[in-house]
Amino acid sequence: MKSVQDQIYDIIAKEASIERTRIAPEATLKDLEIASLDAVQIIFAIEERFEIYMPYNNPSFDVDTVGGLVDTVERLLREKRTA
């Protein structure tokens, strides 16, 4: 089974039609030249894949960088398992 990071990288690459090798933890979707509509689609795809809800406006979650997205998904999955 692929790691959360690998799955998110795959989603970003597919939805934005970019090379997976361009994706790095410190990169923002803006750095990757991903349009805002594509960014929304990426978030929806992540939510659907992991069956979670991404907290866009919650300051305790970093959804600005790729690494932040990975950390947020991992945190939400841990919370989901313990709930």
- Domains parsed from the chain with CATH numbers: 4-82 (1.10.1200.10)
Which is it for the CA torsion 46, 9, 74, 63, positive or negative? Answer: negative
Q: How far is CA 56 from the centre of its chain?
A: 11
User: Which residue has tokens 């994706």?
Assistant: 23
Gap between the Cα atoms of 38 and 61, Å rounded: 20
pLDDT, one tens digit per residue, over 39-57 is 889 999 999 999 999 877 7
User: Which residue has tokens 């030249």?
Assistant: 33
Gap between the Cα atoms of 57 and 61, Å rounded: 8
pLDDT, one tens digit per residue, over 11-32 is 999 999 999 999 999 999 999 9
27, 69 contact by CB (below 8 A) = no
- pLDDT band at residue 59 under the 50/70/90 scheme: confident
Residue type, 23: I
